[in-house]
Structure 1
Amino acid sequence: MSSGPRSILSAIATLVALAPAALIAPAQAAECQRKDALGTARVLEVDPATYPRVGLKSFPQTLPLRDREVVLTFDDGPTPVVTDKVLTALAAECVRATFFMVGRNAADHPDMVRKVVRLGHTIGYHTWDHPHLNKLSAEQAEANINRGIEAVGMALRGTASTIPATPFFRFPYFESTPELLNHLEKRGIAVFGADFWASDWVRMTPEEELKLLTGRLEAARKGIILLHDPQMRTAEMLPAFLRYLQEHNYHVVHIVPAAMKTVSDRTR
């Protein structure tokens, strides 16, 4: 298995080629059937050349969100049952999110990968097995990143009815290095941090997580939110959080790479 820059670009290009033009831009998907649902307010195209690194917890810039706009992101899946519960909550409110998948989990549960994209969500990468990349050599770290990308590609291979994975990546534990950041930027892969999170890796009840998350949301008023779809407490908290967003006039933004629209236009 190749682990060089060409391997990453080839994997992404292959994934983009898998999708028909009509499904490459999620903005054109069917309208929500529930008129009282929270819904997805808008689609934001993210160009890695303009936004190579985003998320104020790690970097000086974030996405150009308006007041009371949030981007929902989930890490570490997919995991059967728990990710299913997250997807059910999102679907009930016609909300789209981004899932940064661990390659090993994608390889173990390719049906879950396909379900995520079938429901219109965006997929990003989160390495092969969630290591501390800053503790590895540059070659080992790149190989782990590439293996994760290729695992997602294998899960989607032959599924012409799906939206492809995207050039979005998140470092496990947010442990980046200048060298890896530069390599990913040169390869056209945007690195996502977060603006705030629910700390859902800490033992707490869903009610406690909701209180913590909404408190941080009210302080920030907008931003990229980090959650973890394998966490049952988050899956159980999510319906109440989505209701909170609607009741307090927040709006969900779905992110897609700008290149997706370019490919769609070119294939028409």
Structure 2
Amino acid sequence: MMKCVLLAAALLCAFSTAAPAACGPETLGVSRVLPVGTVGGGEVGLKTYPQTLALQPGEVVLTFDDGPSPGHTEKVLDALAAQCVKATFFMIGSNAAGAPALAARVAREGHTIGYHSMTHPTMRGMAFERARADIENGFQAVDKAVFGKAGERPRQPFFRFPGFADTPQLDAWLASLDVVIFGADQWASDWEPESPDTELKLILARLEKSKGGIVLLHDIQPRTVAMLPQFLQELKKRSFRIVQIVPGPGPLETQPAPPGWTSETNRIIDKQRTRQH
């Protein structure tokens, strides 16, 4: 775990060294870096879990799933760099293995790395050993692509389940590795056949209503790539503030869901499984 903290510190040091010359007040930038404690694991993201990160109103954590995607992730990185913004990329192992230079670029530019399994299967209903093997293979593939080698444990302690479809047994196993499981507080629904303009209006409306949170985007989606520069500009205009998450010491600190909370993703997953049967 200390290696994770040191790695994150090194990346942030590199960023802070370059930032003064490149980032002016006209850019969105990063308002603060939030160390996320991972000892004992835990789960965050109100779409799935009854708690989320301890963010302040107006704070946004940007996360991207399913990459790296040649032809798309480069443009996402360029858009983020233009606004001096840092995000978290939850990578699929097979995609990282297929584009190791691009995967390594994500970390080299100071973004946070997370894992999203090896092959992106729906793990709820899958045999535990098979699901665990897919997650472990994803750890290995991403670490080899990003850091040049992999060990027995993941180098970064952040994971997101494909489709948010976790299980109690997998959650407990990840907790034993001191890995925090990420859901999301808001998503752009960019898996739907929407235009970039529709996606932009949708996610901005959701953020205005929720006053920020962990945002789910996909760097494999052309519509997200197209709308991202304007999205970042709008966040600046609307006084939202970007928070970069990094692995930190100690246990996970969270804030509870509001009264009346229910898991939206569990409701969707249960409905899909009912249809299949």
TM-score range, shorter-chain basis?
0.7 to 0.9
Question: Counterparts of 2:8 and 2:205 in 1: how far apart (Å)?
Answer: 41
| Structure 1 residue 26 displacement after superposition | 6.6
Aligned ranges 1:1-268 → 2 under 5 Å: 16=4, 19=7, 22-23=10-11, 28-32=16-20, 33-35=22-24, 36-49=26-39, 52-158=42-148, 165-259=155-249
Q: Runs in 1 of length 4+ with deviation above 6 angstroms?
A: none
* 3-state secondary structure, aligned to 2:51: coil
Match for 2:223: what amino acid? R
* 3-state secondary structure, aligned to 2:174: helix
Question: Counterparts of 2:232 and 2:192 in 1: how far apart (Å)?
Answer: 21
Match for 1:59: what amino acid? Y
Question: Counterparts of 2:144 and 2:173 in 1: how far apart (Å)?
Answer: 23
The 1:259–1:187 alpha-carbon spacing in structure 2 relative to 1, beyond 3 Å, is same
The 1:157–1:211 alpha-carbon spacing in structure 2 relative to 1, beyond 3 Å, is closer
Question: Counterparts of 1:46 and 1:104 in 2: how far apart (Å)?
Answer: 27
1:4 is matched with none
The 1:102–1:180 alpha-carbon spacing in structure 2 relative to 1, beyond 3 Å, is same
Match for 1:104: what amino acid? S
* 3-state secondary structure, aligned to 1:46: strand
What percentage of aligned pairs have identical amino acids?
A: 49
TM-score between the two structures when normalised by the length of structure 2: 0.82
| Structure 1 residue 135 displacement after superposition | 2.6
| Structure 1 residue 210 displacement after superposition | 0.3
* 3-state secondary structure, aligned to 1:191: strand
1:194-240 Cα offsets, whole Å, 9 max, x none, are 00100000001100000111010111001000000000100110011
CA RMSD between the two structures? 2.4
- Do 1:51 and 1:63's aligned partners in 2 also have CA atoms closer than 8 Å? no
Structure 1 unmatched runs, 5+: 1-11, 261-268
How many aligned positions are there? 244
| Structure 1 residue 144 displacement after superposition | 0.3
The 1:19–1:158 alpha-carbon spacing in structure 2 relative to 1, beyond 3 Å, is farther
1:8 is matched with none
